[in-house]
Chain A
Amino acid sequence: MAYVSIADRDHEVEHHDPQTFISKYVWSQDHKVIAIQYGALAIFIGLVGMLLSSMFRLQLGFPDTFQFINPENYLQFVSTHGMIMVIYLLTALFLGGFGNYLIPLQLGSRDMVFPFMNMLSVWVYALSVLILIASFFVPGGATGAGWTLYPPQAISQGTPGVDMGIILMLLSLAVFIVAFTMGGLNYVTTVLQARCRGMTLMRMPLSIWGIFMATILGLLAFPALLVSAIMMLLDRLIGTSFFMPAMMAAGEVTDHNGGSPVLFQHLFWFFGHPEVYIVALPAFGIVSDLLSVHARKNIFGYRMMVWAIIAIGGLSFIVWAHHMYVSGMNPYFGFFFATTTLIIAVPTALKVYNWVLTLWQGNIHLRVPMLFAIAFIFTFTHGGLTGLFLGNVTIDLPLSDTYFVVAHFHMVMGVSPVLVVFGAIYHWYPKMTGRMYNETLGKWHFWLTFLGAYSLYLPMHYIGFLGVPRRYFAMGNTDFMPDSAITLNSAMTISALIIAASQLIFLYNIIVSLKKGEPSGGNPWKATSLEWLTPDTPPKHGNWGHDLPVVHRWAYDYSVPGAPDDFTPQTVPADVVPVGRDHGVDS
C-alpha cells in the first residue's frame, strides 16, 4: 500500500491552535490537555469511590460502631463504589486519559483526527460524572441496588434510591456511553489513519495495541449496557415490562407482568465481561512497555503478545454467562461457558510468561514504575488463578455471592489495573510535566499500596471460603463465622484505611513535584518510543515542531549488540545502528 503522509492530508486535520486561556486549558482540543482533564476527573471520582469503600469497610470491620452508616446508605456506598471504580475511574482513565495522551504521541501524530469531538467527549464525560454525583443529593439518595443493578430489585420499592437515584444512575451511564463513543471513534480512527511514516501496525508499542483493542471492545460492548439502561428506564418511568415480572412489592401487586430479569442479566454481562478486558487490555499493554523499558530488554514475543491481545478481545465476548451460573441456566450452557472461560486463560497465561521472560536476564532497574509493573504480575496471576476456581460451575456454585468472589475480582480487575495506573503515571509523569517525582515518596506509596492490598484481599478469600456472603450490612449471630473471621474483618478494614491514607502520599508527590521536582529532560528513562523524542518536554501543541518523525524500527530495541547505547530510538535508521533481532539479540 502506498504511503499517504498526514502532511499530504492537511485538509483533514482541523486547525485549532489555542489562543486564550479558556481555549488552552478549558475548552481545549489538544489531546494532551484532554488526556489530563480526563485523568484528573477520573482520579477525582476514583477518590470519591475510595472514600465510599472506606465508609462501608468501617461498618464491616466494626459493626454497630458508627451511627452515620445505616443499612440504606451502606448499600448506596457499596453500589456506587463499584460503578465508579469500574466505569468512571478505570475505563475513563485508561482510554480517555492514557489513550488520549499516548495514541498521538506514540504514533507520531500531531493530534487525534477529530479534535473537536475529542473535546466534546471529555465534557460529556464530565456531565455523566456530575449526574452520578447528583444522585447522592436527590430525595431518596443514590441507588443501592448493587453495581450490577439487577431488576426487579433495582426498581422495586424498598431498594434505596428507587425514586430518583436509579433514574440518575441509568441516565449517567447512557451519557457516559455517548462520551465514550465519541472518544472511541477518535482512538480507532487515529490508530488506523494518523500514524507517522514507517509506523506499521506491527511496530506500534503494546500500550497502543492494548488501548486500540480495548476501544474496539468498548465500542461493541457498551451498546449492551445502553440497551439495558434504556429498557430499565422505561420499566421504571412508564411502566413497561421488559425486565419486570409480575410480582408483589411492599405488600401490593405491581402493574408489571411477564418481564424477564434474566434477560437483563444477559445484556448486562454481555457488556460486563468485555468490560473486564476493556480495563485489562490497556493495563496489559502498558505493563509490557514498562517492563521492557526498565529491564532494558526487548519485550519477549512481541507478535505473540499482539495476537494474545486480539484473541483475548475476541474470546471476551463468549464468556459472559459465567457470571450467571446461579441464574438457573441450562447445564449445557454452563459447560459451554466454563470451557470458553478456561480457554481465555491460555492467551492470558501466555502474556504472563512473556512478561516474566522479558525480565529474565534483563538489566532490571527497580524504579517506582518498575515496582508497580512487577507487582502487577503478582496480583494479576493471583487474581487469574482464583478465576480458574470461579470459572468452573461446580466450584462457583458454593462460592457464588461470597467474599471469595469479591476478593477475586478486586485482585484481578481492581488492584492489578490500579497498580498499572500508578506505574504508568510515574512512568510518564516526567513527559507530562517536565519534572521528576520524588523517588522515596513513590517507593513508600508503592509498598504501602502493594502490601496493603495483599493484607486486605488475601484474608478476604478465606472469609469467602467460610461462606460469608457479600453485600450484607451486618452478619449478626451466625455459627459459621468464627471469632477469628470477625477479627480478620476488623484487620481488613484497618488495611483498607491504610491503603486509602497512603494515596495521600501519591497526591502530595505529584502535586508538589509539579513545582519542586528535578527537571527531567526529554528522555529520563532512555526509552525508544516516540513520545520520548518530542522536541519539547512537555510536548507543545502539535507535538513535533515542524517535522513529523519517521520510524525505522520497532519500539523495543534495548541492549542491541553493537549499538552505541543500550537503547535505540525508533527514529534511528537501520544503516546508522543495526536493528535488534537481525544481529542476534534473540538468537
Chain B
Amino acid sequence: MYITLVFLGVIMATIIWWLLRQTFNTQPWVSEAADSTVSGPSIDTSSKSVALTTFLAVATSVFALFISAYTIRMDEPDWRPLAEPALLWANTVVLILASVVYHWTRNAAVNGVQHRIRPGLTIAGALTVLFLLGQLVAWRQLLAAGYYADANVANAFFYLLTAVHGLHMLGGLWVWFSSTIKVWTGADSDSVRLSIELCTVYWHFLLLVWIVLFGMLLST
C-alpha cells in the first residue's frame, strides 16, 4: 500500500498547502480583513476545470490502488509473469501521437486557428480508437497463446489493468465525440475551446497512466 500512501500524502500535502495559503492569516471574526482579500470562488478558473482536476485525483486513486494490489499480490509464490506482446510498444507510440495531436489541436483552439481544429480532433480521436483496437488485438494474441485470466493472476492483472485504462479512454472518447460533432456542425473555436483544453489534460493524464502501467508490466 506504500504507493497509494505516497499518492495520498501528496494529495493531502497539496490540500493543506493550498488551505494555508487561502486561510492561514484570515481571522473569520474580523470582517474587514476578509472582505478585502479572499472572496467568492477560491480558484480563478472554470468550475469544469476544478471538477476535472478532482476527477483526476479520484482516477489516480483507483490506479494507485490497483498498482498497490499488484505489487502486494506479485509477492505470492504462484505468480508467473507473462510475456507482453510486442504490439504494446506500437500501441504506446499511437497513444503518444494521440496526445501530441490533441495538444496541437488545443493550441489551435486557444489561438483561434479555426482550420486546424477539425483535422486535429479527427486525427486525435482516430489515433485513440486505433490504440484501443490495438489493445484488443494484444488481448487476442495473449489468449491465443494460452494466457487465460483464470490460469494465473499475473494474466488476470494484465487484462484488468488494460481494461480499466481502456474504459477511462472510452469515457474520454465520449466527450471527444460531442465536441467533434459540434466542430463538424459549424461551431466556432470559442464554444469548444474549454472542452478541447480539458480533453487534452485528460489525454495526457491517461498517457502518463499507461506509461506507468506499461513500465510496471514490463519490469515484473
Complex partner residue of A199 from B29, B39, B48, B78, CB under 8 angstroms = B39
CB-based contact B27/A581 at 8 Å: yes
Instruction: Give the Cβ gap from B7 to chain A, nearest Cβ, in Å.
Output: 9
Given contacts A220-B58, A227-B62, A260-B73, contact A5 B40 (CB under 8 A): yes
A431 within 8 A of B: no
Given contacts A185-B54, A220-B61, contact A581 B39 (CB under 8 A): no
Binds B, one of A96-104, A129-137, A235-243, A353-361: A235-243
CB-based contact B40/A113 at 8 Å: no
- The 4 A-B residue pairs whose C-beta atoms are closest, nearest first, are A258-B78, A581-B29, A239-B150, A554-B28
Give bound CA distance, A547 to B58, whole Å: 35
Instruction: Give the Cβ gap from A174 to chain B, nearest Cβ, in Å.
Output: 12
Interface residues in B17-63 (C-beta closer than 8 Å to A): 19, 22-23, 26-32, 34-35, 37-44, 46-48, 50-51, 54-55, 57-58, 61-62
Q: Which residues of B contact A239 (CB under 8 A)?
A: 149-150
Instruction: Give the Cβ gap from B96 to chain A, nearest Cβ, in Å.
Output: 26
13 residue pairs from A and B, CB less than 8 Å apart: A1-B42, A12-B47, A189-B50, A200-B23, A200-B34, A201-B26, A201-B38, A220-B8, A227-B65, A260-B76, A306-B23, A557-B29, A574-B32
Q: Which residues of B contact A185 (CB under 8 A)?
A: 51, 54-55, 58
CB-based contact B29/A242 at 8 Å: no
Q: Which residues of B contact A242 (CB under 8 A)?
A: 69, 73, 153, 156
Complex partner residue of B153 from A6, A241, A314, A573, CB under 8 angstroms = A241
Interface residues in A1-16 (C-beta closer than 8 Å to B): 1-6, 9, 12
Q: Which residues of B contact A441 (CB under 8 A)?
A: none
Q: Name which of A194, A199, A200, A552 has the most chain B CB atoms within 10 A of its CB.
A: A200
B175 within 8 A of A: no
Complex partner residue of B150 from A200, A240, A310, CB under 8 angstroms = A240
Task: Please encode chain A, from 163 to 182, with 1 for each CB lying within 8 Å of some chain B CB and 0 for all others.
Answer: 00000000000000000010
Give bound CA distance, A270 to B66, whole Å: 13
Give bound CA distance, A5 to B39, whole Å: 9
CB-based contact A238/B149 at 8 Å: yes
CB-based contact B31/A553 at 8 Å: yes
Give bound CA distance, A198 to B35, whole Å: 6
CB-based contact A231/B69 at 8 Å: yes
Give bound CA distance, A310 to B11, whole Å: 12
A197 within 8 A of B: yes
CB-based contact A189/B47 at 8 Å: yes
B212 within 8 A of A: no
Q: Which residues of A contact B146 (CB under 8 A)?
A: none
How many chain-A residues does the 8 Å CB contact rule pick out? 72
Q: Name which of A189, A194, A201, A234 has the most chain B CB atoms within 10 A of its CB.
A: A189
CB-based contact A202/B43 at 8 Å: no
Give bound CA distance, A241 to B148, whole Å: 12
Interface residues in B64-117 (C-beta closer than 8 Å to A): 65-66, 69, 72-73, 76-79
Known: A198-B34, A270-B4, A579-B30. 7 other contacts (CB 8 A): A203-B28, A234-B156, A240-B149, A240-B156, A258-B79, A263-B69, A579-B29
CB-based contact B30/A240 at 8 Å: no
**Which residues of A approach B to under 8 Å, CB–CB?**
1-6, 9, 12, 113-114, 181, 184-186, 188-189, 192-203, 216, 219-220, 223-224, 226-227, 230-231, 234, 238-242, 255, 257-260, 263, 266-267, 270, 298, 302-303, 306, 310, 313-314, 317-318, 552-554, 556-557, 573-574, 579-582
CB-based contact A223/B44 at 8 Å: no
Give bound CA distance, A263 to B77, whole Å: 15
CB-based contact A2/B44 at 8 Å: yes
CB-based contact B42/A201 at 8 Å: yes
Give bound CA distance, A72 to B77, whole Å: 36
Task: Please encode chain B, from 1 to 19, with 1 for each CB lying within 8 Å of some chain A CB and 0 for all others.
Answer: 1001100100110011001
Give bound CA distance, A579 to B119, whole Å: 59
Instruction: Give the Cβ gap from B179 to chain A, nearest Cβ, in Å.
Output: 17
**Which residues of B approach A to under 8 Å, CB–CB?**
1, 4-5, 8, 11-12, 15-16, 19, 22-23, 26-32, 34-35, 37-44, 46-48, 50-51, 54-55, 57-58, 61-62, 65-66, 69, 72-73, 76-79, 149-150, 153, 156, 160, 164
Given contacts A219-B54, A267-B69, contact A201 B62 (CB under 8 A): no
Complex partner residue of B47 from A2, A194, A306, CB under 8 angstroms = A194
Complex partner residue of A552 from B19, B35, B65, B66, CB under 8 angstroms = B35
Q: Which residues of B contact A192 (CB under 8 A)?
A: 41-43, 50
CB-based contact A223/B62 at 8 Å: yes
Q: Name which of B15, B27, B28, B46 has the most chain A CB atoms within 10 A of its CB.
A: B28
Give bound CA distance, A554 to B42, whole Å: 17
CB-based contact B29/A219 at 8 Å: no
CB-based contact A197/B32 at 8 Å: no
Give bound CA distance, A252 to B43, whole Å: 60
Instruction: Give the Cβ gap from B48 to chain A, nearest Cβ, in Å.
Output: 8
Give bound CA distance, A581 to B34, whole Å: 14
Q: Which residues of B contact A199 (CB under 8 A)?
A: 39-40
Give bound CA distance, A230 to B27, whole Å: 46
Identity of the chain B residue whose Cβ is nearest the Cβ of A578 in the assembled complex: B31
Identity of the chain B residue whose Cβ is nearest the Cβ of A313 in the assembled complex: B12
Instruction: Give the Cβ gap from A426 to chain B, nearest Cβ, in Å.
Output: 27
